[in-house]
Amino acid sequence: MPNASEHPAIATLLDYWLHDSDAATTDAVDEHLMVCDKCGRRLDEIAALSDAVRDAFRAGVVAAVTSGPFVQHLAAEGLKLRVYRLETNGSVNCSVAPEDDLLVTRLQVPTAGVTRIDMLAESSTEPGVQHRAEDIPFDPDSGEVVVIENIARVRAQPAQTLQVTLLAMEQSGPRQLGRYTFHHRP
């Protein structure tokens, strides 16, 4: 991009969906989408990520929440995924390499009896500021929440610690399912 005859990278489509791409790139993607059904379908899949999580994603804290099959589909398209799998209440030292296209985090979570999960994220760069994504998708069979991070934003982030909390929203109130810690280095 901005060459309209090429398929845009998934990162470019993500920027486009977030209205973050510059005018020339936006025009090129618009033009490309008029003639390319494949990229149109990809964009539909991106758009199917809940609108509710778009604000948290834009804020660069965390991220779009999606499904395991969508991630497998991205891998099958040849995208280089950096994948971290965290046990319940686990932590990880994370960073990204120049060749990575997407950062995928698989949070293991006990989902028995759970019907709705909210996600809270707080970065050490903004203490006390909690970003909340409500009613996020999760896979009750695998007991997993899959998060895709905007890698361009991750690359731009300073070293920091990110705390992510998953809450089951129940009649009696929220119940903490798991807490996950990311020690990020650029």
**CA 157, CA 155: separation in Å to the nearest integer?**
6
Which residues are CB-neighbours of 15 under 8 A, at least 6 positions away?
21, 25, 152
Output the CA–CA distances (angstroms, integers) from residue 37 to 21, 34, 46, 52, in the order listed.
Answer: 21, 8, 14, 26
Residue 10 as a binder of Zn ion (CB under 5 A): the answer is no
Could you tell me which stretch among 3-11, 119-127, 128-136, 177-185 binds Zn ion (CB under 5 A)? Answer: 3-11
How far does Cα 8 stand from its chain's mean position?
19
In angstroms, give the least distance from the CB of 10 to Zn ion. Answer: 11
Binding residues for Zn ion, total number by CB under 5 A: 3
Our CB check for Zn ion shows the closer of 76 and 97 to be 76
36 near Zn ion (CB under 5 A): yes
Rounded to whole angstroms, the Cα distance separating 44 from 170 reads: 31
33 binds Zn ion (CB under 5 A): no
Closer to Zn ion at the Cβ: 28 or 164?
A: 28
Helix (H, G, I), strand (E, B) or coil at 80: coil
The answer to whether residues 161 and 182 touch, using CB atoms and an 8 Å cutoff, is yes
Q: Provide, rounded to whole angstroms, the least separation between the CB of residue 65 and Zn ion.
A: 25
Which of the stretches 13-21, 36-44, 64-72, 126-134 binds Zn ion when contact is defined by CB under 5 A?
36-44
Confirm or reject binding of residue 39 to Zn ion (CB under 5 A).
yes
Binding site for Zn ion (CB under 5 A): 7, 36, 39
